[in-house]
Structure 1
């Protein structure tokens, strides 16, 4: 995902000299294409993420379109007040690009896990929150960012996520989810790097003659309420899948929509637990532990369906 982001931003930056890329001394073996092609539009501010946001705000007030790059804990939690007061409050066109969603930096422990970031940034006024599911969504949404004003959070995986879509997304728009498949028994709504796993879970269910749909909810703010309202009238179950806490993420956004409706399908939440990790392991290890593998997602849906048939 990050390679696609850098490639896309480099192409944009060559045409628009107001585009700036800032990094907090991270992104080696990833940011070089932009740095080498556009050295006057690239700044390494050093290990000073809060200051990076302040610099970005100043550049934005001077007419620049700024992208700040770091791993998610440093780009979000460490800079939280600065994002709120410098960017969101002033509605500045600065995008915080966070790499390593969920358990991507699993072996480094809870300090490097990113399971609450969406919840925090979704709560800020003026903030757009994007969680692309594959490289093609990254490309489309990066172009989409350039068409809007205001602060944005772009949440990227780092596990070499493959393309789930079969061709470039010409009609991918911020705030509009993408339906990949429709299903009568269940519709899986996935966000971010869980799209691949959700797609695999859907295939497992289909082999068991369970009609399963799949929606990529790449934008968590502004949220596509219309697709949720439609899905819960057309399917027997809606299952949300996210590598993030159920508190404040995709599940919460869907539940908020459903709370204003009646006579709709039940909602199954598949997310990370409300606790810090006490183990050390890879992203694969943690996904297995908390039930975020294709097999366990399919099993959760399979076990839930009979009780609500």
Structure 2
């Protein structure tokens, strides 16, 4: 059996920027002294005249990106999620979101899988912060193929977009001919009748692995990839919940304000159902190897399997 191909979505981001840069001369990339880590260095080598290193000044970078967007450019500002969504929040909100400017935010090193960089760099709040900004599109791709498609879609979308990427290499599974990425549209990866599991980002592949364990126990789970947290695919969320009656959300983010909250907001209005939110439970992360942290915080396939099984069998 061949080994599953794994690629970090931050790599996908860098490669996608170069591909788009060849086609679109208005695309410019900004970074905050982290080009090697965010992989924007790939774009820098290909198009040095369209790359700006703003130094360790993320708030200023947001202002520069805003200005460039008013001059006909399509800027992708890049940094770790903790800095792009956290440190620069006020400028992203007021300089980019408020005037609804055409700026794309490439946020890498999101979630607990930042690993050894530790709690201060493991941003578990970014989806919540960005989802609150009016008009901001929020995308959390699940693998290399989806990440590249998301970058292309972000370029084509007119308005602010937040793109979330990871440091850890994760399985590539969207390599089927009929794969299609569309902002605001979830993807049904497997139909089922007993429970719906909505997953996002690196947790999609973990959920797919958990589904096999659930199937072995006779639990027929519907698996849906929600790559766009905002605007969320409310129609699909409500329809699936109405069909199965039980819903689980899985995210490498706080259970407060991210995918779990977005799904619950839809369901309380359109299709009330019992919900289990799997994510980081109102706590900070810690330093350690990414796979071990994912397991410790209950975000690995085995943990998802056990939690969903217990949830389904509750009544």
Shorter-chain TM-score range: over 0.9
Contact 2:141 2:147 (8 Å CA) reproduced: yes
Contact 1:101 1:193 (8 Å CA) reproduced: no
Alignment partner for residue 240 of structure 2, among 203, 216, 231?
231
Contact 2:82 2:110 (8 Å CA) reproduced: no
Tell me the equivalent position of 2:278.
270
Per-residue CA shift, 1:131-150, capped at 9, x if unaligned? 00111111111111122111
Counterparts of 2:126 and 2:245, CA distance in 1: 31
Structure-to-structure mapping, 1:250-261, within 5 angstroms: 250-261=259-270
Alignment partner for residue 98 of structure 1, among 101, 104, 107?
107
Alignment partner for residue 71 of structure 2, among 48, 62, 66?
62
Cα deviation for residue 85 of structure 1 reads: 0.5
1:246 aligns with 2:255: yes
Give TM-score scaled by structure 1 length.
0.95
Tell me the equivalent position of 1:296.
303
Per-residue CA shift, 1:23-50, capped at 9, x if unaligned? 1010316233311211111111111111
CA RMSD of aligned residues (A): 1.5
Deviates most, 18-27 or 33-42: 33-42
Q: Secondary structure at the match of 2:87?
A: coil
Contact 2:111 2:252 (8 Å CA) reproduced: yes
Contact 1:156 1:193 (8 Å CA) reproduced: no
Contact 1:103 1:286 (8 Å CA) reproduced: yes
Counterparts of 1:157 and 1:168, CA distance in 2: 25
For structure 1, the 5+ residue unaligned runs are none
Counterparts of 1:139 and 1:172, CA distance in 2: 10
Counterparts of 2:49 and 2:74, CA distance in 1: 14
Alignment partner for residue 205 of structure 1, among 192, 209, 214?
214
1:150 aligns with 2:155: no
Per-residue CA shift, 1:163-206, capped at 9, x if unaligned? 12132665310000111101111221101111111111111111
The number of residue pairs the alignment matches comes to 306
For structure 2, the 5+ residue unaligned runs are 1-8
Alignment partner for residue 84 of structure 1, among 86, 90, 93?
93
Contact 1:271 1:292 (8 Å CA) reproduced: yes
Alignment partner for residue 286 of structure 1, among 271, 293, 300?
293
Give TM-score scaled by structure 2 length.
0.93
Contact 1:122 1:221 (8 Å CA) reproduced: yes
1:48 aligns with 2:48: no
Contact 2:113 2:294 (8 Å CA) reproduced: no
